[in-house]
Structure formats: structure tokens, C-alpha cells
Amino acid sequence: MSPLDRTPPVLRGQDGEGSVQVHQDASARIEGAKVFSVYGKGGIGKSTTSSNLSAAFSMLGKRVLQIGCDPKHDSTFTLTGTLVPTVIDILKEVDFHPEELRAEDFVFDGFNGVKCVEAGGPPAGTGCGGYVVGQTVKLLKQHHLLDDTDVVIFDVLGDVVCGGFAAPLQHADRALIVTANDFDSIYAMNRIIAAVQAKSANYKVRLAGCVANRSRETDEVDRYCKTVGFNRIAHMPDLDAIRRSRLKKKTLFEMPDEEDVVQVRREYVRLAETLWNGTEPLAPAPLPDREIFELLGFD
């Protein structure tokens, strides 16, 4: 009998009003490593942030594992230089018999020793992303791949719109939100804050803060944070070097030592140090939609 779950377990009402979602097996919880989940609206730069943050942790001498939680499986390609196979696709090849897999079938070496995994996801409109995340963590534990890991980073698909893609929050110590200095990004951040608050009633996850990404200014982000009691803990400016690094399939730590690149590298290392040293567990109160519009909108 395969140790993988054939049918995703579902619990009702345990993670917020009306919650219907995959609930992770307690035995599959990640222990011994500091675990961070990176969230934000689609296209905001979560994978760029995650990969450069993984690289920064590795530069500090930490043993890092990055888990991409997106069906398009591009979270780790700047670390590995390629699109690696997903856990779900590899499991399909062995008819979901994980005992036939070797660690090197689904874990790949990236920049400076960062271990890279792409969970993948079910076909569009079917299945549950939370189930895929759960099975990925089980596989990692079965192969003892978390035993020698200091930091785990989950790079999570888009906005939190369902319990499935909130599943990494069940493993995380801290959630990090990537945003920008505009209405849509901050609106999405507000929803993510609400999701983390719901999860924190039953799990250890707390909010670490937000990263203003690809933003010349941070005035709107800072105004929102001041209103709800949240913190901006990093600012990545809108630099063309970041775009070019993605095109070259590299992290910023592998780019030429141009002044702007060196500047952003320093900010990523500073962010990694901040997260490693521990952040205050934040509990901001998300705003109703109308209040966000009134705060950030213009007549």
C-alpha cells in the first residue's frame, strides 16, 4: 500500500468560517528548519523574490530548500537554469508508487547548493493544489531530505483564493507578502493577511511583513501598513537588472557586479538576515474592501 494519500482528506470549518480544504497530516509537518511561505498577487515577482532570497540565505551559509507551488513550475528556474520536472509529473510516471523514486528524481541542485523542488499541480480546473503540496512534503520526509535543511521557502501561486493554495501556511513559521506600490497589489495583500489570520487560529504561522517589489516609491504600501499594523521589511526597486536576470535564467547573485545589482543583492541579504534572526509575529487587522478603496483611491 502506498504511503501517499490516494484521496485528499478534507476537513470542514477548521481554518476559518466556511473553510473546506485539504488538511495536512500532522506527521508530515516540517521540523528543524525555519519555514517561510511567499505570497502575493499573480505577476508581482514572488518567484524572483523567493529565488534571490534562497540565494541570499545560501550566501549566509544556510542549507536551503525551495519548493515551487505553481503548476507552471518556474519558481526555481533562475536557480537551476532550467525548468525541472514536477513532483506530480514524476509520480504519474511511476503510477503514484513513491517507493520507486530516488531523491534525485525530484530534487535538483541550484545556485550555491540550494535544493530545488517543483511541486507542480493538477490540470487546470481539477484536483487540489493543497494535496500536491502535502504529498511533496511527505516525499521529502520519506527520503530524509529535510533532516539537513536550515531554511525551507515555499513559493506559492498567486492570491489566496482557496484552502488548497493556503496549504503551505500549515507548515510555515512566517508568511512573507510580496507587493507593490499600487492598489491591486495592496488589495491582494489585504486578502492574504486575512487568510493567514484564519490559519493562525490553528497553526503556528504568523506574518513576518511585506516586501515592496519593483516599486520606485513605497508611500502607498507604508500608508496601508501604518493603518492596519503591518511592517514593510524590504524594498526592491524597479531595476532593469532584475528583469534581465530572469531572461538570463540567473539569480542576481550570478549577474555582473554592476552598482544597481550589488545594491539589490545587499537588500536580499539584509532580508535573509532579518528573517533568520526572527521577526515579530504580526497580527494586522485586514480592512473591508470599501475601506481599502477609501484609503488608497482618488476622487
- Measured over the CA atoms of residue 68, residue 246, residue 160 and residue 280, the dihedral's sign is positive
C-alpha cell at 46: 514572488
Catalytic residue among 72, 92, 226, 248: 72
Catalytic residue among 70, 155, 159, 173: 159
Catalytic residue among 41, 62, 138, 250: 41
41 is catalytic: yes
Catalytic residue among 34, 46, 62, 138: 46
- Cβ proximity of 36 and 174 under 8 Å: yes
Phi, then psi, of 133 in degrees rounded to 5? -60, -45
138 is catalytic: no
Cα distances (angstroms) measured from residue 217 to each of 100, 153, 178, 235 = 51, 27, 15, 9
- Cβ proximity of 78 and 250 under 8 Å: yes
Phi, then psi, of 46 in degrees rounded to 5? -65, -45
Segments in 86-217 forming alpha helices (H): 87-93, 129-142, 183-199
Cα(111)–Cα(58) distance, rounded to whole angstroms? 9
- Cβ proximity of 75 and 81 under 8 Å: no
226 is catalytic: no
Which residue, among 275, 164, 179, has the nearest Cα to 220 in the 3D structure? 179
Phi, then psi, of 39 in degrees rounded to 5? -125, 170
Per-residue exposure over 159-191, b if at least 16 CB sit within 10 Å of its own CB, e if not: bbebbbbbbbbbbbbbbbbbbbbebebbbbbbb
Per-residue exposure over 234-261, b if at least 16 CB sit within 10 Å of its own CB, e if not: bbbbebebbeebbeeebbbbbbeeeeeb
159 is catalytic: yes
Residue pointed to by grid coordinates 534572526? 277
The set of catalytic residues is 41, 46, 72, 159
